[in-house]
Amino acid sequence: MASGYLVRMPFLTRWNDNDQYGHLNNTVYYEAMDTAVNGWMIRDGGLDTSGDAIALCAASSCEFHEPAGFPEPLEVGIGVERLGRTSVTWSLGILRRGEDGPLATGRFVHVFVDAATRRPTPIPAGIRAAIEGQLVG
Amino acid sequence: MASGYLVRMPFLTRWNDNDQYGHLNNTVYYEAMDTAVNGWMIRDGGLDTSGDAIALCAASSCEFHEPAGFPEPLEVGIGVERLGRTSVTWSLGILRRGEDGPLATGRFVHVFVDAATRRPTPIPAGIRAAIEGQLVG
Amino acid sequence: MASGYLVRMPFLTRWNDNDQYGHLNNTVYYEAMDTAVNGWMIRDGGLDTSGDAIALCAASSCEFHEPAGFPEPLEVGIGVERLGRTSVTWSLGILRRGEDGPLATGRFVHVFVDAATRRPTPIPAGIRAAIEGQLVG
Amino acid sequence: MASGYLVRMPFLTRWNDNDQYGHLNNTVYYEAMDTAVNGWMIRDGGLDTSGDAIALCAASSCEFHEPAGFPEPLEVGIGVERLGRTSVTWSLGILRRGEDGPLATGRFVHVFVDAATRRPTPIPAGIRAAIEGQLVG
């Protein structure tokens, strides 16, 4: 349910996002989800993308309910389905700006790893605090 | 199991596919899968992308096992998990060129629709024949 | 000179816009310019992208002055360098949101063509009026 | 003249490269040129993209002569227009695979910089040798 998204990040579509069939290509929804989650972690969780702990995508999925297309402005609703020690499963919705019913719903599993060794590492404290403060009941 | 892919399509990586973390961004795997399936349907199934029946992505997913990066040449292995009347569920693997163990495994659900009305329509005969001839036991 | 841009369109960066060197890949500046010009023609000039007259890119160029990177929000300043009967040469600047000095300056030559024959056709009246009203001294 | 390209690099198109007008979006030609030059410098000039000297794009341009579209396989012809102490101006052609007349012709100015300070640095010896050996009369 879209109204369940406590955090929404803006996502503007681009001319070249529309494919030959005249709507956003399916891969753009993944760009939107990746951008929203990383942008939120940078802004509210202090993620330092040049730092020691980075988040890699271990799995993702999306269900496409309704088409969208440039020049529509979109938003991505962010929720958390599961918060582990080294990983987060995000529950995401692609929304029209200011509207509730999602055009697509997706999921990203981010695993935090040490930037050098690429081995799992605990979720940074700032990101955990932001998740617990904003996204978890 | 990668050796299960009866059809493999080439996929070349691009400089800008690598993101800030130095490997292919997760969205590129979806570009690879989308490209492989559409390219194969055009080449072997006679898909006419300006024709009456087009294939839209209803759902997709991917699990990322190992990183890859430009300039590595990749391939996409194509299989079919389910063949319906108006939809196909593709089972896909991202592979290093000439190798077997997949770097990532994914799934695409394509629904064929009438290009004008966007309502479900039977899978075109040429595409069904190619699937049955090449991909189904 | 940035302060010369009478029209500015928003452009949000994406996580995967940053390449391996940690900044926006050069191709993203072209996505920004293409998106800004088409978005403005749709919004203010009544461009119908499924209509009879469409704008194709005949030439483009960009000079890169300063790097930018996700998650910075950008803007594209739009000017007109030359307005012909069937073509427009846009003069464009990539700007930080709300700032003046352009990070990059570029040019797009759009030729209007008949969507079916792809032969040059006069600039649609609504687009010409918007250019003359907003962009030409 | 396309037959002037002594080096050609393969470039495969992708489903989502075609925009709403049914052909490769103009930005894809820049992806092709960027990919070809970087790929050739890595393969034949020993460019280490995690090394001390990296190549940044200072300017680029392209003229579009004929449309192309997925699933056509393309190639990029590479030439050198000017070889300086810290910069190279590449002369590039987008070609159909195995054909001569370019669909588009472009130019990239690469400036080599120190990866840490981002200040100009001499072209690495291996890259200079490859250019002189393969691309300069």
Residue C11: closest CA among A101, D131, A17: A17
Q: So what's the pLDDT on residue A3?
A: 54
Block residue for tokens 């987008």: D94
Predicted confidence (pLDDT) at residue B4 exceeds the cutoff of 90: no
Closest residue by Cα to residue C26 from D56, A76, D115: D56
Q: Where are the alpha helices (DSSP H) in D19-122?
A: 26-45
Contact A19 D22 (CB under 8 A): no
Burial of B33 (0-12, 13-18, 19+ CB in 10 A): buried
Average pLDDT score, chain A: 95
Per the model's pLDDT, the better-predicted residue between D62 and C137 turns out to be D62
Chain C CB contacts of A15 under 8 Å are 31, 34-35, 38-39
User: C136 versus D57: which is more confidently predicted?
Assistant: D57
Per-residue pLDDT at A1 exceeds 90:
no
The amino acid that residue D39 corresponds to is G
Interface of A with D in 21-50 (CB under 8 A): 22, 25, 27
CB B94 within 8 A of CB B29: yes
Contact A59, A109 (CB under 8 A): yes
Residues of chain D found within 8 Å of residue C49, distances taken between Cβ atoms: 20-21
> Of C3 and B78, which is predicted with more confidence?
B78
pLDDT of residue A4: 75
Name the residue in chain B with its Cα closest to that of C14.
B19
- pLDDT of D11-41, one tens digit each? 999 999 999 999 999 999 999 999 999 999 9
pLDDT at residue C137 is higher than 90 = no
Residue pair D54/D113 in contact by the 8 Å Cβ criterion: yes
- Give how far A72 is from chain B: nearest CA, Å: 20
Mark yes or no for CB contact B70/D39 under 8 Å: yes
Q: CA–CA separation, C60 vs C125, rounded Å?
A: 24
Local structure of B24: helix, strand or coil: strand
What is the spatial distance between Cα B87 and Cα B111, in angstroms, rounded to a whole number?
Answer: 4
CB contact under 8 A, A27 and D19: no
- CA neighbor of A95 nearest in space, from A32, A39, A37, A34: A32
Tokens at C88, concatenated? 């427009």
Please compute the mean of the pLDDT values over residues B86-115 and round it to a whole number.
Answer: 97
The band of B1, judged by pLDDT with boundaries at 50, 70 and 90, is very low
CA nearest C28 in B: which residue? B16
The pLDDT tens digits of the residues spanning B24-81 come to 999 999 999 999 999 999 999 999 999 999 999 999 999 999 999 999 999 999 999 9
Per-residue pLDDT band for C4 (boundaries 50, 70, 90) equals confident
CB contacts, 8 Å: B25 with chain C: 15-16
The arithmetic mean of pLDDT across residues A28-43, rounded, is 98
What pTM was estimated for this model as a whole? 0.97
Tell me the backbone φ, ψ of residue C121, rounded to 5 degrees: -145, 150
Domains and CATH numbers, chain D: 2-134 (3.10.129.10)
| DSSP symbol at A120 | B
Per-residue pLDDT tens for D44-98? 999 999 999 999 999 999 999 999 999 999 999 999 999 999 999 999 999 999 9
Q: Which residues of D touch C27 (CB under 8 A)?
A: 27, 30-31, 34
Confidence at residue A37, expressed as pLDDT on a 0 to 100 scale = 98
Q: Which chain B residues touch D32 with a CB distance below 8 Å? A: 14
Interface membership of C19 toward B (CB under 8 Å): yes
Strands (E), chain B: 7-12, 53-64, 73-83, 87-96, 104-114
**Among all residues of chain A, which has the CA nearest to that of D17?**
A19
Per-residue pLDDT tens digits for C60-115: 999 999 999 999 999 999 999 999 999 999 999 999 999 999 999 999 999 999 99
Alpha-carbon span A94 to A34, nearest angstrom: 12
Q: What is the DSSP letter of C134?
A: I
